[in-house]
Chain A
Amino acid sequence: MTVFIKLFAGFRENRFKVAKREILENSTIADVLEQLGITEPELGVAMIDGRHVTVDQVLYTGVTVSLFPKVGGG
């Protein structure tokens, strides 16, 4: 199935900003992280279509996954 992946801050280094990816059915955020070479402790926030999710969240076709390292401001 097809999903859209958006990376932010340091996750973009040697990767990409936005990409369309084919992934296996029932893949989770953790599976996507593994494919991208990002470890779970590096992850700050994962969102699917603008809603916060945990790494065990299963993806559906057509969703947008946004991944952020641990950053913040104020």
Chain B
Amino acid sequence: MNKILRINMSELTFKIETAPEQWAGLGGRGLTSTIVAAEVPPRCHPLGPNNKLVFAPGLLTGTPAAQSGRLSAGAKSPLTGTIKESNAGGTAAQQLARMGIKAIIIEGTPTEDKWYRLHITLDGVSFEPADDLVGKQNFAVIDRMVNAFGPKIGVLSIGVPGELRMAAANISVKDPDQKIRSHGRGGLGAVMGSKKIKCITIDDTGAGKVPIADPDKFRAAAKIFAKSLLDHPVSGEGLPIYGTNILINILNEAGGLPTKNFRYGQCDHHEKISGETMHETIVSRGGKHKHGCHAGCIIQCSQVYVDGTGAYITSGFEYETIWGLGANAMIEDLDDIARCDNLMDDIGIDSIEGAVLLATAMEAGVIPWGDGKECQRVLRDEIGKGTPLGRILGNGTGSVGRAYGLVRVPVVKNQGIPAYDPRSVKGIGITYATSTMGADHTAGYTIATNILKVGGYVDPLTKDGQVELSRNLQIATAAVDSTGMCVFIAFPALDIPESFTALIDLLNATYGINLTADDVTELGKTILKVEHDFNTAAGFSSADDRLPEFFNYEPIPPHNAVWDFTDEEIDEFWNF
């Protein structure tokens, strides 16, 4: 896997290059961030010709290792103005890896006002007209591609908000069931739209297997690794039964479930939107409570949520989306929340940014609190059609706050804050403040240790130990995001020593190298520093590593916690 597919949208040409030596040990986020940092001028306009959109499967993607099928997408973000990496499941990552493609770099913008579908095969790229796809949303695009090329075709696509370069637009990835996984955060769909690419189709006919240097060592490590995933109670039992939405009740009990646009830490109707209720509903209606986002997933945290007649409403129905619509926007009906989730997949906006911006629109008086039907209309008919209101909303939480003169606007570096209140779960506040990505819980998921008691325990309500916790997790996550592994492998990796050792053995067996745990840590540190340096050159400073002011002076019940870190305490994060 050493081919770099470089696509020039200004010239409508492509080149297949051999990856330079210094990229050999990189994949996923490590590679997208290294390429963006090396080739994108930090001060460029994210929607202009100098930004580049980069896709990279992880170092282990395409191998038989469990959980290794994630694709990273990177660029300068039109939402945050920072470097961005967003990873997703689906089928594309494994297809690209088997085709020997280490990264796709898409540069330039077309000079003519025409839309394209890029068709990628082992021979290279063809630039097909996409006039008949323009104006269509993601499910219709995927249906057309499956009809044209068969069910195995890989598809990356954008909906209308992506065409209109809205900063909440995501990139949708077809999953094994012809549904959608998303490069959700940071507006990468707008970057794809700026390059006039409606859709990318991947036909991997003729692709072989990913070469493995030491198959015996690989098989042994893969077995230990898979066993650790199944043995750990969170990845082996909790996630497959309840999905990520089990967190609603845990965060509610801990007083860290942001409610009514971050006014309260607990939500009266938490039980209606909880993972337990969702599980019962799915089982009683004949949906699927276990489901994987890519071939080779054994955790199966996803699900297929159906209506009362058993008809599909949505899949990949995540805690953050359900929190954002259910608690933060006060929608009590899980079916309405599921329909909003499906609409966000269809029109192609990030379901975290989408949920947070809808609550902010409620704060502004644009939508009544808790009105799930009106949210569906706004998603479908305003954001999905690009009306003037839709564009104000579709440019994200920060855009809504500015347009309506709001103060309680939960963003860091203009990216909506997800489902864990930083005042009552302080470690995650450090992650939101310092992440190179803007407010991103996955960048350093301190909830594991602050709330779930995985990887030890650090009291969520005190400041002690939070900076170190967030730093260690952000370093480890940057490395894991480079392997193509799902972030949930962290649960066993934090608690079961053999799990992390097996992950390193998988890398060593695949490439015939001798990485140590320290090397992996160094990789994580290097990635964070490359990203941080890009942001600094783009004009960011420690003054941007801050939470919105209202967290300082609005105590959140029930613990009446405030955000009380000093600037110096936060800035200690980068001391490594």
Contacts and interface: CB of A to CB of B under 8 A. Distances in A.
Interface of A: 6, 8-10, 12, 17, 44-45, 47, 49-52, 66, 68-74
16 contacts: A8-B253, A44-B453, A45-B453, A50-B253, A52-B459, A68-B250, A69-B238, A71-B233, A71-B237, A71-B238, A71-B452, A72-B452, A73-B243, A73-B275, A74-B487, A74-B488
B255 interface: yes
Contact of A10 (B241, B255, B457): B241
A12 B277 CA distance: 12
B441 A50 contact: no
B253 A47 contact: yes
Contacts of A52: 254, 451, 453, 457, 459-460
Nearest to B266: A50
Contact of A72 (B249, B254, B454): B454
A70 B233 contact: yes
B247 interface: yes
Contacts of A17: 271
Contacts of A9: 238, 241-242, 246, 249, 275-276
Interface stretch (B357-365, B429-437, B442-450, B530-538): B442-450
Nearest to A10: B241
A12 B275 CA distance: 13
Interface of B: 233-234, 237-239, 241-247, 249-250, 253-255, 271, 275-276, 301, 319, 441-442, 445, 447-448, 451-454, 457, 459-461, 487-488, 491, 558-559
Contacts of A44: 233, 452-453
B254 A47 contact: yes
A27 to B, nearest CB: 20
Contact of A45 (B242, B301, B451, B459): B451
B233 A12 contact: no
Closest 3 CB pairs of A and B: A73-B244, A71-B238, A70-B233
A6 B275 contact: no
A68 B457 CA distance: 15
Interface of B is mostly: helix
Contacts of A51: 461, 559
Given A52-B459, A66-B253, A72-B448, 5 more contacts: A12-B276, A44-B233, A44-B453, A68-B253, A72-B247
B232 to A, nearest CB: 8
A52 B430 CA distance: 20
A8 B275 CA distance: 10
Contacts of A70: 233-234, 237-238
B453 A73 contact: no
B136 to A, nearest CB: 32
A50 B249 contact: no
Nearest to A66: B253
A72 B319 CA distance: 11
A50 B244 contact: no
B138 to A, nearest CB: 24
Given A45-B250, A47-B254, A74 B442 contact: yes
A37 to B, nearest CB: 18
A1 to B, nearest CB: 21
Contact of B254 (A10, A50, A71, A73): A50
A22 to B, nearest CB: 22
Contacts of B441: 74
Residue among A6, A51, A71, A73 with the most chain B CB within 10 A?
A73
A73 B249 contact: no
A50 B448 contact: no
A45 B237 CA distance: 16
Contacts of B461: 51
Contact of B250 (A10, A12, A49, A71): A71
Contacts of B234: 70-72
Nearest to A51: B461
A20 B250 CA distance: 20
Contacts of B453: 44-45, 52
Contact of A74 (B253, B255, B275, B447): B447
A74 B440 CA distance: 11
Contacts of A72: 234, 238-239, 246-247, 447-448, 452, 454, 491
